[in-house]
A and B are shown apart, each in its own frame.
Chain A
C-alpha cells in the first residue's frame, strides 16, 4: 500500500554541510511504512528537474505519524529540496518497495553501512533491537562525513565506527571489523547498505561463511513504482531481471546479481 500525497514538512535539521534530515507528516504513510522502504519525492511542481528523487526512509514514527528521511545534496534536485522549510508541502509517493528488511526471526544481527548508506539502516536497527542483539558497523570517508553516531548507539548493543583515513573512530574499512567479529561469533544475518564494493564484499564474505545477508541496492529509477522497468537488476534464480523499486530495494544476496 502506498500513497501519492502532498505532505507537510514538520522538521528540518542540517546534519552536515550538505546533509539534511527532514520529517514529514503523513498518518497514512507512517502507518504502513517498513524499514528499508523509500519515498519518491517531487522537488518542484515543474518539468525541470523532470523526475522524482528516490530517497530512503530513515525513521518511522507511528506515534507522531511522521517519516524522516536524510539526503545529501548531490545535484539540482536535492539542491532544491534542501531549500524547503518547515511548513512547506512536498509531493511524495510512498512508502515504496516490496522488498524491505526482514529481521523477525533473528536473534543476533549485524548491520553495516557505508557513507550515505547508513541512513536507511537506522529504522531497521531500531525495530530489530527490540528483540535481537544488534551490532552496527558504520564506515565513513573521514571525520567530516560522520553522521548519526549517537542515534545508532541508542539502538545497537555495539557500534563500531570507522573512517577510511583514521581521522575518527577506528582506522580502516567497516567490513574488516565485521569480519573479525564474525570469526568469534557468527550473526544470524548481515544487513548492508552503501557503496557497491562494500556490498560485494559483504556478499562474498556472507556466502563463504554461510551467513544470511540482505542488501539495499541502488539503481537509476524512472518511476519508482514498477511501470517503467528502468531499475533492472539481474535475477539470480531465473532468466531476466528484477526491479529495485518494485522487488527491492532490499534483496537477499541469493536472489540477485550485483
Chain B
C-alpha cells in the first residue's frame, strides 16, 4: 500500500481485512500537520489519474497518538512514509519515528507536488545519498527510500540510497504531468501540474524497476499501476522483491486482496513453488 493511497487504514478497514495485507505504508507524514493544496486536486486521465494533494497530513504526533495505536490491532507490519521540506525535518521526523512501534520507514524523496523538499532531494545521486545518510544516522529501523521517476537515469538516485545504507528502495512515485481543460484553456488541477499514476505508468515503472535491479543489491519494491496479479508478476519478473498497490485501491478497495489471490493462482498454474523464483526472472530478448 504505497503512501497516499491508503490513509492510515481506517477507511479501508470498512471494506477489507487489513490483517490480510503484507504491510501497510501510511500516507506521507511530516513533523507538523500540513493542509495540502487547494482543489481540484485530482483528475482522471487515460487509464490512470493525476493528483496534486500536496501531502496533506496531520503530523507525526497525531499519527503516534491516534493512528498507530489503532493500526496495531491488525498485526500487519506498518511502514511509515516520511516527508519533509528540509533535511533537518527529515532527520527530526525519523528521530521521532525511531521511538514508535513501527516496522520500517519509507523516505519520501519523490513527491512532485510540493515546492520544497521531497523531490528536490530525490533527483540526484548526491541528493539521495545526503538525505539517506542523515536519516540513517538516527534511525535504527529498516529504511526504504522511495524514488522519483522524474529523472534521466533512475539508477543513480537508487545507487545513492544503497551507498548511504538504505535497506531497500521503492519505485516508482508518480510522473510529473499536466492536463488542460481545452474550454477554459487552463490546467485542470489547481496546482497546474500533478503526479500521474495508474495503469498508464505501469510500463515505465516496470522498466525502471528492471534498471534499478540490475544496478543495486538491496531489494526493490515495485509499484506504479498495479491492479491485477499479472501486473504484480510483471514487476517481480523485472526484479521487484515485493510490490505495492496505490491508486488501484481507489477503483476497488478489494484490489490488494484480489491481487494476492491472483498471484497465488498464477503460481499454481505455472507451477511456481516459491515466489522468490520470480524475482528478476525475466529473460531479455
The chain A residues found within 8 Å of chain B, CB to CB, are: 1-4, 42, 47-52, 91, 93, 219-234, 239-241, 246
Return the contact of B39 from the options A42, A232, A239, A246 (Cβ within 8 A): A232
CB contacts between A and B, total, < 8 Å: 109
Chain B contacts for A93, CB-based, 8 A: 15, 253
Return the contact of B42 from the options A42, A48, A228, A233 (Cβ within 8 A): A228
Of B30-38, B80-88, B94-102, the segment with at least 4 beta carbons within 8 Å of chain A is B30-38
Chain B contacts for A229, CB-based, 8 A: 4, 7, 27, 36, 41, 53, 56
Of B65-73, B145-153, B243-251, the segment with at least 4 beta carbons within 8 Å of chain A is B243-251
The A-contacting residues of B in range 20-51, CB under 8 angstroms, are 27, 33, 35-49, 51
* Interface of chain A: mostly helix, strand, loop or mixed: loop
A4 to B7, CA, bound (A): 18
Judging by beta carbons under 8 Å apart, are A222 and B49 in contact?
A: yes
Judging by beta carbons under 8 Å apart, are B198 and A220 in contact?
A: no
Judging by beta carbons under 8 Å apart, are B43 and A227 in contact?
A: no
Judging by beta carbons under 8 Å apart, are B247 and A48 in contact?
A: no
Chain B contacts for A241, CB-based, 8 A: 35-36, 39, 56
Return the contact of B14 from the options A2, A52, A231 (Cβ within 8 A): A2
Closest chain-A Cβ to B132's Cβ sits at a distance in Å of: 27
Q: Using known A-B contacts A49-B44, A50-B48, A227-B5, determine if residue A232 contacts B251 with beta carbons closer than 8 Å.
A: no
* Interface of chain B: mostly helix, strand, loop or mixed: loop
Please tell me the number of chain B residues within 8 Å of chain A, measured between CB atoms: 39
Smallest CB gap from A225: residue in B: B11
Q: Using known A-B contacts A4-B15, A240-B33, determine if residue A228 contacts B250 with beta carbons closer than 8 Å.
A: yes
Closest chain-B Cβ to A249's Cβ sits at a distance in Å of: 13
B227 proximal to A (CB < 8 A): yes
Judging by beta carbons under 8 Å apart, are A231 and B41 in contact?
A: yes
A91 to B251, CA, bound (A): 10
Q: Could you list 6 examples of A-B contacts with CB < 8 Å?
A: A50-B47, A219-B39, A229-B27, A232-B37, A232-B56, A241-B36
A221 to B43, CA, bound (A): 7
Chain B contacts for A91, CB-based, 8 A: 252
Return the contact of A42 from the options B38, B249, B252 (Cβ within 8 A): B252
Judging by beta carbons under 8 Å apart, are B4 and A50 in contact?
A: no
Smallest CB gap from A234: residue in B: B38
Chain B contacts for A1, CB-based, 8 A: 14
Judging by beta carbons under 8 Å apart, are A50 and B56 in contact?
A: no
Q: Using known A-B contacts A4-B252, A91-B252, A227-B250, determine if residue A233 contacts B49 with beta carbons closer than 8 Å.
A: no
Smallest CB gap from B198: residue in A: A50
Return the contact of A227 from the options B11, B37, B199, B251 (Cβ within 8 A): B11
Closest chain-B Cβ to A190's Cβ sits at a distance in Å of: 24
Judging by beta carbons under 8 Å apart, are B11 and A51 in contact?
A: no
Chain B contacts for A240, CB-based, 8 A: 33, 35-36, 56
B120 proximal to A (CB < 8 A): no
Judging by beta carbons under 8 Å apart, are A47 and B198 in contact?
A: yes
Q: Using known A-B contacts A91-B252, A230-B53, determine if residue A222 contacts B11 with beta carbons closer than 8 Å.
A: no
Judging by beta carbons under 8 Å apart, are A230 and B252 in contact?
A: no
B216 proximal to A (CB < 8 A): no
Q: Using known A-B contacts A4-B15, A4-B254, A50-B48, determine if residue A227 contacts B42 with beta carbons closer than 8 Å.
A: no
B90 proximal to A (CB < 8 A): no
The A-contacting residues of B in range 241-268, CB under 8 angstroms, are 247, 249-254
Q: Using known A-B contacts A47-B227, A50-B49, A50-B199, determine if residue A220 contacts B42 with beta carbons closer than 8 Å.
A: yes
A42 to B45, CA, bound (A): 15
Chain A contacts for B253, CB-based, 8 A: 4, 93, 225
Chain A contacts for B36, CB-based, 8 A: 229, 232, 240-241
Judging by beta carbons under 8 Å apart, are B247 and A239 in contact?
A: no
Max chain A C-beta neighbours (<10 A), residue from B43, B51, B250: B250
Q: Using known A-B contacts A227-B6, A232-B39, A232-B41, determine if residue A222 contacts B51 with beta carbons closer than 8 Å.
A: yes
Judging by beta carbons under 8 Å apart, are B35 and A239 in contact?
A: yes
Smallest CB gap from B55: residue in A: A229
Judging by beta carbons under 8 Å apart, are B46 and A230 in contact?
A: no
Closest chain-B Cβ to A81's Cβ sits at a distance in Å of: 15
9 new A-B pairs (CB below 8 Å) besides A47-B198, A48-B47, A232-B38?
A: A47-B251, A91-B252, A219-B40, A222-B49, A222-B51, A224-B250, A229-B36, A239-B35, A240-B36
Smallest CB gap from A239: residue in B: B35
Judging by beta carbons under 8 Å apart, are A222 and B48 in contact?
A: no
Judging by beta carbons under 8 Å apart, are A228 and B247 in contact?
A: yes
A234 to B56, CA, bound (A): 13
